[in-house]
């Protein structure tokens, strides 16, 4: 199967691949990455199909071979203010702003960004496009590192294990401790934890930065 960016590569364009991590989580930022690869064949795959060790190894390869790469994020407070879709767009825009040289065309994983550039947003682009797969690896590794750091700030929630997603142990911690400043209060399980009077563990704790 021909990769989505193949004809743009053949035309000599710098193609930016964009993907995100953390869109469905209950806590932590949504993180996007953008990558411009030179034309070629690469071993990069959708980060969800890789082990943590594989992702870390391939992250180094992506950074080593890329013509440009960037990582951007949108904070939980921004997600609550503008919604997860717009926040995902903000994270992607912030990642794209870091690319030098700038992209001349974009491929995303079904994310229809507002851009003057030629854009392709097919489903499963993280499987078919090496540029998007590379971005998915950078986004996932960057977000996982953040969640490991946040686990030390908020040890009651198990962020190191579930990375903020709605696992059973995370929901149990929410029920017991209430949300912390990393939680997306507009998301239903978090809102319900507040509604039923659980105490907030965010008192006297630092705001998310």
Provide the annotated binding site. Answer: 19-20, 109
Query: Helices in the chain by DSSP H: which ranges?
Result: 6-10, 52-65, 76-82, 84-96, 125-128, 130-153, 159-162, 168-177, 188-195
Binding residues for a divalent metal cation: 19-20, 109
The answer to whether the beta carbons of residues 42 and 134 sit under 8 Å apart is yes
CA distance 18 to 26: 22
Helix/strand/coil percent split, the chain, to 5: 45, 15, 40
Does the N-terminal peptide bond of residue 101 adopt cis geometry, omega within 30 degrees of 0? yes
Residue 116: partners with Cβ closer than 8 Å, 6 or more residues away: none
Q: In terms of C-beta density within 10 A (0-12 exposed, 13-18 middle, 19 or more buried), how is residue 184 classed? A: buried
The answer to whether the beta carbons of residues 47 and 139 sit under 8 Å apart is yes
């Amino acid at each position: 199967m021909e990769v989505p960016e193949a004809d743009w590569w053949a035309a000599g364009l710098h193609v930016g691949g964009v993907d995100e991590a953390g869109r469905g989580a209950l806590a932590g930022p949504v993180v996007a990455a953008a990558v411009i690869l030179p034309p070629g064949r690469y071993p990069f795959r959708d980060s969800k199909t890789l082990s943590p060790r594989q992702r870390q190894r391939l992250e180094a390869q992506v950074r080593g071979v890329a013509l440009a790469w960037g990582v951007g994020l949108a904070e939980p407070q921004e997600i609550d203010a503008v919604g997860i879709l717009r926040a995902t767009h903000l994270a992607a825009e912030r990642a794209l702003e870091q690319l030098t040289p700038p992209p001349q065309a974009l491929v995303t994983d079904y994310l229809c960004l507002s851009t003057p550039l030629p854009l392709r947003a097919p489903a499963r682009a993280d499987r078919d496009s090496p540029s998007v797969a590379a971005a998915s690896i950078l986004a996932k590794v960057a977000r996982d590192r953040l969640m490991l750091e946040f686990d030390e700030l908020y040890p009651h929630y198990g962020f190191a294990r579930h990375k903020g997603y709605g696992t059973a142990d995370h929901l149990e911690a929410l029920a017991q401790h209430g949300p912390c400043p990393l939680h997306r209060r507009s998301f239903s399980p978090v809102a319900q934890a507040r509604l039923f009077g659980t105490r907030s563990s965010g008192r006297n704790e630092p705001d998310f930065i």
